Amino acid sequence: MSALRRILRDPVATLGLLLVLFAALVAIFAPWLAPYPDDAFDSHLLQRLKPPSAEFPFGTDNLGRDILSRVILGTRSAITVAVSVVGVSMLIGVPVGLWAGWRDGWASESLMRVTDVFLAVPQLILALALGQLMAPGLFTAMVALSLTYWPFFARTVHAETRRLRTALFVDALAGIGASTPRILLAHVLPNAAPAILVRATIGMGFTILTAALLGFLGVGAAPPSPDWGLAVSEARQHLPEAWWFPTFPGLAILFLVLGFNLLGDGLRDAADPRLRRSRH
């Protein structure tokens, strides 16, 4: 709770929180907020590529669909992808980091070397290779992104666990006979939580950007999904005439990622000044 209060005292972090909350509300109520919810799939060829007007505030796309509605509907898929990818990455990376950080020996050491291998290639390249080898599509993209993002959690949690393992209170707990799982779950994990939370928030922004890029490159969401990256890709054929077509989906990406990044920055400062050096 005190962390939330510290966030609210920081105007920049508050702006981030507001952007994220706004996007979350839009995602939840997307079908009711969108002026033309059916434009997720319907096309209206007679009104294609109309510039912004009172009827279509963001204009229409190459199939005559309302871009505002598709941006709103796209919020839902962008956030779903980000939450799933970050969630799955956490489910893999946090236990790996806890275990490898707690235990010594070749098994935990080699596990961390595996994370090194994953971190040795830029994430997008690895995700592209994975995405290509499985059948391209949104689900594949999500799997590929999760498989490439978990090492970041493993790294973060590993470092935190290593630090806490040497802390006096952990020795004291072991001294009074607390079991290892209990120490890890009830004591180490809560202490590592701020670092995990910061990593997750920044990971949300990063995932949204990468997923949009995969959509743009054609290995993510497939037409006719109202995906932001896909929309920008479709818009390329209609430039320079339909400037509004790529502009608004791109701005949506910008603001949502901005929200997560600002919030992540604020959380990082609120959680622990030591974390200011964290990567990404």
Partner 1 sequence: MARYILRRVLLALPALFGLILLTFVLTRVIPGDPAATLAGDAATPAQLAEIRARYGLDRPILEQAFVHVRQVLTGDLGSSIFSGRPVMEEIVFRLPATLELTFAAMLLSIGLGIPLGLLAALNHNGPVDHLIRIVSVGGLAVASFWLAIMFQLLFAMEWDVLPLRGRSDLAYGAPPFHTGFYLIDSLIAGQGALFLDSLWHLILPAVTLCLPGLASIARFTRSGVLEALQKDYVLYARAAGYGRFHLAAIYVLRNAITVTVTQIGLLFGALISGAVAVEAIFDWPGLGTYAVQAILSADYKALLAVTLVVGVVYAVINVLVDVLQALIDPRVAEDIR
Regarding 49 and contact with partner 1 (CB under 8 A), the answer is: no
Token duo for residue 187: 């004591």
* By the rule CB under 8 A, 181 interacts with partner 1: no
173 vs 263, which CB is nearer to partner 1?
263
Concatenating the DSSP letter of every residue in 174-214 gives HHTT--HHHIIIIIIHHHHHHHHHHHHHHHHHHHHHHHHHH
Among 124, 159, 197, 275, binds partner 1 (CB under 8 A): 124
* Residue 265 identity (one-letter amino acid): D
- Give the interface segment with partner 1, choosing from 73-81, 100-108, 174-182, 244-252 (CB under 8 A): 244-252
56 vs 228 by CB, closer to partner 1: 228
Q: Is cis: bond before 224, omega within 30 of 0?
A: yes
Measured from the Cβ of residue 8, the count of other Cβ atoms closer than 10 Å reads 13
Closest to 73 (Cα-Cα) out of 110, 104, 34, 100: 34
Q: How far is the CB of 227 from partner 1 (least distance, A)?
A: 12
Structure tokens at 208: 């949204």
Pick one of 69, 77, 89, 123: the residue that binds partner 1 (CB under 8 A). 123
Going by C-alpha positions, the residue among 22, 145, 119 that lies closest to residue 72 is 22
Place of tokens 């919810």: 37
Span interacting with partner 1, options 46-54, 60-68, 94-102, 214-222, rule CB under 8 A: 214-222
- For the chain, give the number of residues: 280
Name which of residues 192 to 211 contact partner 1 (CB under 8 A).
Answer: 205, 209-210
Minimum distance from CB of 251 to partner 1 (Å)?
Answer: 8
21 interacts with partner 1 by CB under 8 A: no
DSSP state for residue 1 in the 8-state scheme: -
Q: Which is nearer to partner 1, 188 or 229 (CB)?
A: 229
Select the residue interacting with partner 1 from 246, 268, 270, 271 (CB under 8 A).
Answer: 246
State yes or no: residue 107 binds partner 1 (CB under 8 A).
Answer: no
When asked if residue 274 is in the footprint of partner 1 (CB under 8 A), the reply is no
Q: Is 222 in the site for partner 1 (CB under 8 A)?
A: no
Long-range CB contact pairs, 251-257, < 8 A, 24+: 252/71, 252/74, 252/75, 252/78, 252/228, 253/78, 253/208, 253/209, 253/212, 253/228, 253/229, 255/19, 255/23, 256/19, 256/20, 256/23, 256/75, 256/78, 256/79, 256/205, 256/208, 257/205, 257/208, 257/209
Q: How far is the CB of 120 from partner 1 (least distance, A)?
A: 4
- The residues of the shown chain that bind partner 1, judged by CB under 8 A, are 12, 113-114, 116-126, 128-134, 136, 205, 209-210, 212-213, 216-219, 229, 232-233, 235-236, 239-240, 243, 246-247, 249-250, 253-255, 257-258, 261-262, 265, 276-277, 279-280
